[in-house]
Amino acid sequence: MATTLINDYEVMYSANTFPPRIWLMNSGKFIGQLIFHPDGSVLPPDSMVSGQVNLQYHLEDFQNCAAILRNEKTVYLLYSGSGPGFENGLQTSQLPPGT
């Protein structure tokens, strides 16, 4: 499991057909994005492209993700891999509980 500190983010809510996104940054460099799809749609698998993580969420999760980034002092991007059995997301500690 790889975790990366998120120390800045940008919200991109396009006026056209692009899905809403939250871009994640560490030390001024983009490290990934949260991509929000219509509620009820089948989500594509999470992925890593050119060293940047793409995490897929439903639009109903947008406010929850934005609140974590806005309200928590420290947030990490967790990326374990793509496909079934891999847990990816935002977390408020570098290590999972109990480790």
CA distances from residue 67 to 8, 9, 10, 24, 78 in whole angstroms, order as listed: 13, 12, 13, 14, 17
Q: What pLDDT, on the 0 to 100 scale, is given for residue 84? A: 87
CA angle 61, 7, 76 (to 5 degrees): 55
Question: Is 98 a member of any domain?
Answer: no
pLDDT tens digits, 56-94: 999 999 999 999 999 999 999 999 999 888 999 999 988
77, 82, 91: which is closest to 23 by C-alpha? 77
Model pLDDT for residues 4-28, shown as the tens digit of each residue: 999 999 999 999 899 999 999 999 9
The residue segments making up the domain with residue 14 are 2-37+44-91
- The number of distinct structural domains making up the chain is 1
Residue 33, classified by CB atoms within 10 Å of its CB into exposed (0-12), middle (13-18) or buried (19+), is buried
Q: Does residue 96 sit within a domain?
A: no
Residue 77 lies in a domain: yes
From CA 81, how far away is CA 72, in angstroms rounded?
Answer: 25
| 7: in domain | yes
